[in-house]
Structure 1
């Protein structure tokens, strides 16, 4: 079988697929427009009055999306976190002094349900595809730029927070023991480096966005225009079935 000659110092792993010159391998996933629509629908429905009825369906959607990308930890962690919060809510309800805790727990349960869908969007949709989809929907530039910056900034902040935490542990300042002994100093040692690194990362991301033509007129050409596929049809069908099951369950109670 003939192919392109290997470059010096370049190794090809067994079983790997090498893209042809000038082509980029595109990971098949939901169209960004479908993912954004599902996220907005779940957020509006769950956060509305009476939205607790739709929390199980939203959790199921988040678990299905996690299974589709083989994120096993998230697929197990979402129902586990929701079950823990749902178990604590009835214990806090009979006590008037714990009413505030019960309200916070209810909203935490809703955020956990929506967070599963948001995590799938962040992990599977690159900012370039997300920006191209918003432009295809004729979304105003202010929302397009904000969404693209958010998708790039959140993973950067998470990585910086982990780096600061590891540095604190190396100096014996991290962990639950250090937090209990010196809570104010621990918060200071964590937040000050994180804020400084976040500012540097924000400047780098702004420069990268300008170089990529974000916010320019006319809009840059997209190499891979967004297209709806079978995964989007399956996602819409699954959401419709979960919604119908929730409405039926609510009518029978």
Structure 2
């Protein structure tokens, strides 16, 4: 067959070799183990008593991570969300000595911590595929219960966000959405939004469970990975930047 195709002038079919995307990934993105370590360190530090001191460092780290992946909306939105939380937490209670404003201020302070942690968490969700995340957790000898839960979470959160946007668009097309409808009929609007979202979430959860079983996510034998996770220059830069931010925070605290 090869000789006949050559005589007819047809080009010979050479075996295609799949490109190795791991090189491009290791240069531009963080290793999942580095991203998880930064996220855990930020969460534990910020949520601990006195953790507000490290909120600016976490915000700067989140903005730098967003710049590295060119997520310009997050670069602008993260400082704006933090500024709004600061205004609610510290400026709103000064407007009037009302207890309700004090409660809202406490909630704003807690929201500020969540915003700082969310800036790093969103980067992990947006840049690390579930397959790389699972492979990294397996290489760290993490128990299967945490590995499966983390992998399903990374797949389920973007699905829920997409379903919520689809439900919101469907409500707007039917004239059921918008701020005015929420103010006029808040309970009805929540019902129109949550019931389809729950139904679509259940269907998505079943599909993700079937996909996980087909991929052998809960199997006893340890699966192998085509591209094992490796640390790269981006991980070293990230660790140095985080250490510099922590050192700057501690020096600023010592100089107060």
> Contact (CA 8 Å) 2:57, 2:249: kept in 1 or not?
yes
Task: Pick from 4, 12, 17 the counterpart of residue 21 of structure 1.
Answer: 17
Is 1:232 the equivalent of 2:235?
yes
Q: Higher mean Cα deviation, 103-112 or 77-86? A: 77-86
Range with greater deviation from structure 2 (163-172 or 25-34): 25-34
- Partner residue in 2 for 1:64: 64
Partners in 1 of 2:70 and 2:250 — Cα distance? 29
When normalised by structure 2's length, the TM-score is: 0.89
Partner deviation per Cα, 1:158-193 (whole Å, 9 max, x = no partner): 000000000000000000011111111110000000
Partner of residue 170, structure 1? 173
Q: 1:248 is matched with which residue: 232, 246, 251?
A: 251
The answer as to 2:112 corresponding to 1:109 is yes
Give the number of aligned pairs: 236
Task: Give the TM-score taking structure 1 as reference length.
Answer: 0.90
* Map 1:119-134 → 2, pairs under 5 A: 119-134=122-137
5+ long unaligned stretches in structure 1: 8-19
Question: Whose Rg is larger?
Answer: 2
Q: Distance in 2 between matches of 1:193 and 1:151?
A: 22
Aligned to 1:222: 225
- 2:80 aligned with 1:80, yes or no? yes
Which runs of at least 4 in structure 1 moved beyond 2 Å after TM superposition? 20-28, 87-96
User: Quick check: which one's helix share is greater?
Assistant: 2
- Once the two structures are TM-superposed, the CA of residue 86 in structure 1 deviates from its matched residue by 1.1
What SS is found at the alignment partner of 1:221?
coil
Q: Does 1:147 align with 2:160?
A: no
1:204 has 2:200 as partner: no
Q: Which residue of 2 aligns with 1:54?
A: 54
C-alpha separation in 1, matches of 2:203 and 2:210: 11
Gap regions ≥5 residues in structure 2: 1-10
Deviation at 1:96, TM superposition (A): 4.4
Deviation at 1:23, TM superposition (A): 2.8
Match of 2:121 among 114, 118, 122: 118
Which residue is equivalent to 1:45?
45
In 1, Cα distance between equivalents of 2:90 and 2:74: 25
Once the two structures are superposed, what CA deviation does each residue of 1:58-81 show, in whole Å capped at 9, x if it has no partner? 000000000000000101110111
Quote the Cα distance in structure 1 between the aligned partners of 2:93 and 2:187.
32
Output the CA distance in 2 between the equivalents of 1:90 and 1:137: 41
CA-based RMSD of the aligned residues comes to: 1.3
